[in-house]
């Protein structure tokens, strides 16, 4: 499990969307939660690919660094430091070239040797 997660994060950091997709089940669920609310949700590898391609265009650089990892029943939970530089202006007023730095947590579940759930929490 830890190797799958590390490979996923490595592919993410390298903007290797195909590499990310090879690690996922066809029915992977992805959720992004902010302030306890789901802000984004996909329920298939195809939807995830679309989201990943859109997201990649927003950033000129991005790095997730694993700072801690724990297992809780069927979930593999990682604490991450996220740093990115915007490639374009955002609707919230942030401008291209600005940097973002966040602390967050990601939860992963697995089935048949692949990732079937990714939940990013900030």
pLDDT digits (tens, 9 = 90+) for 29-51: 999 998 889 999 999 999 999 99
Q: What is the pLDDT of residue 1?
A: 83
Q: What is the pLDDT of residue 28?
A: 98
As a whole number, the mean pLDDT across the chain is 95
Total domains in the fold of the chain: 1
Average pLDDT in the 105-109 region?
Answer: 96
The residue ranges of DSSP E strands in 7-98, in sequence order, are 24-34, 37-42, 59-72, 75-86
Q: How confident is the model at residue 2 (pLDDT cuts 50, 70, 90)?
A: confident
Model confidence pLDDT, tens digit, residues 71-103: 998 899 999 999 999 999 988 899 999 999 999
Identify the domain containing residue 21 by its residue range.
Answer: 1-121
How far CA 42 is from CA of 27, 83, 118, in Å, comes to 9, 23, 10
Q: What is the pLDDT of residue 107?
A: 96
The enclosing domain of 35 has a CATH number of 3.10.450.50
Q: What is the pLDDT of residue 79?
A: 96
Specify the pTM.
Answer: 0.91
Of the chain, the percentage scoring pLDDT greater than 90 comes to: 89
């Amino acid at each position: 499990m830890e190797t799958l997660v590390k490979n996923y994060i490595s592919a993410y950091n390298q903007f290797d969307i195909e590499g990310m997709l090879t690690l996922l089940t066809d029915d992977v669920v992805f959720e992004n939660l902010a302030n306890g609310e789901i802000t984004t949700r996909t329920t298939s590898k195809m939807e995830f690919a679309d989201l990943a391609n859109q997201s990649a265009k927003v950033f000129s650089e991005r790095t997730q660094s694993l700072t801690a990892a724990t297992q809780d029943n069927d979930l593999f939970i990682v604490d991450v430091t996220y740093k990115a530089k915007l490639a374009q202006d955002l609707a919230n007023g942030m401008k291209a070239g600005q940097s973002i730095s966040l602390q967050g947590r990601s939860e992963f579940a697995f089935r048949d040797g692949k990732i079937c759930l990714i939940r990013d929490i900030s």
